[in-house]
Chain A
Amino acid sequence: MSQELEGAQPQLPSTPPEAAAVAGVGAELARLFAGQVEPQGDSFGTEVVKVRPTALRDVARWLKEAGFHLLLDVAGVDYRGRRPPEERFEVVYHLLDLAGRRRVRLKVALPEQEPTVATVSDLWPAAQWAEREVFDLFGVRFQGHPDLRRILMPDDWQGHPLRKDYPLRGPQRTPSVQGLRSRFFPVRAPEDDRLAGPAESSPASPPDARGLQEGESRHGT
């Protein structure tokens, strides 16, 4: 029995012969799309290629036909203050060739004013929600996207929270909280029952006993 088990050990895959070919994708792209792509070397087994926004769709289509059938993720980056305004935003695509065990990362730099890039959701339907997320949080517009709505934030949200110039607590902390209160408590009836009960009959405590200073109240009042 043990001999059988030993004999049944799976064949470990040898070093993939495609490992050499991985270095070839960037070079091949640079040859096919001269002046439009810029190979940036290997990053932990992933070929990194910088692509001009205008060439993205052609590059993406070529990669898909070359076997990169799986779009792993579409991510956004804000390089505010670290790069010129013409390259403030970057959209990053991760592609995987399942059969050839190859990985490619495409980087597209976009300007600060109206960052726009073509969608790849017709090539990889998985891009639909990923592109909506980048639009929601960074304000990058994807031309040709069938349904470019916010996906994480409420539909009526203002701004794009993952931009570096978006304040952590939101642009209008106090007004928004007050707006929320007035939305859900339109009328504050005097018999508001939350403080009813025997334990809360101690008006002797000073107003700042809760440790809140004026203007710092959580309710903004």
Chain B
Amino acid sequence: MEVLSQPFFLTTVDRFARWAQRSSLWPLTFGLACCAIEMMNLVGPRYDAARFGAEVFRASPRQADLMIVSGRVSHKMAPVLRRLYEQMPEPKWVIAMGACASSGGIFDNYAIVQGVDEIVPVDVYVPGCPPTPDAVLDAILKLQERIRSGDRKAGVLA
């Protein structure tokens, strides 16, 4: 039994895939409004999202797992946002950061989409105007917990 002389651990393929997915949630690089200024602090030394594997903001949607909608979405921007979402490979998640992305916020007018869930499915809503980077970190942690504990999008893809 030579194999037993080496260190090893047991798991399932699904749990292993979920561990990999939640350990490197790479967000897509884009900001829509003032929330983006707070979002940028995530990867700075003070908040350091690298502790949770979510610090690599990718400039291409092809390499991103996570879309952080940081700000209000105008009707003119909506098709652009949707296209970016569709260009991200599965599995992918969306965080609606702040009041505007979640519900339109103070912009209850003709120009702004009243919540980004009108155009992309949202996994976590973050309240605040703008939310603190801590709140966005909390959203990332909640998303990781969901991926770990049975989110249907995560795991081994059918």
Contacts and interface: CB of A to CB of B under 8 A. Distances in A.
Contact of A196 (B110, B115, B151): B151
B114 interface: yes
B12 interface: no
B150 A197 contact: yes
A167 interface: yes
B123 A180 contact: no
Contacts of B117: 194
A12 B26 CA distance: 56
A53 interface: no
Contacts of A153: 75-76, 111
A144 B25 CA distance: 53
B108 interface: yes
A93 to B, nearest CB: 26
Contacts of A173: 110
B87 interface: no
B115 A218 contact: yes
User: Interface majority SS on A: helix, strand, loop or mixed?
Assistant: loop
Taking residues whose C-beta sits less than 8 angstroms from the other chain, chain A's interface range is 20 to 34
A98 interface: no
Contacts of B150: 197-198
Taking residues whose C-beta sits less than 8 angstroms from the other chain, chain B's interface range is 20 to 34
A172 B111 CA distance: 12
A180 B78 contact: yes
B119 interface: yes
Nearest to B142: A199
Interface string A178-221: 00110010000001111011110000000000000000001100
Interface in B84-132: 103, 108-111, 113-115, 117-123
A166 B75 CA distance: 17
B60 interface: no
Contact of A166 (B103, B110, B151, B153): B110
B35 to A, nearest CB: 20
Interface of B: 75-76, 78, 82, 103, 108-111, 113-115, 117-123, 146, 149-153
Interface of A: 152-154, 157, 161, 166-170, 173, 177, 180-181, 184, 191-194, 196-199, 218-219
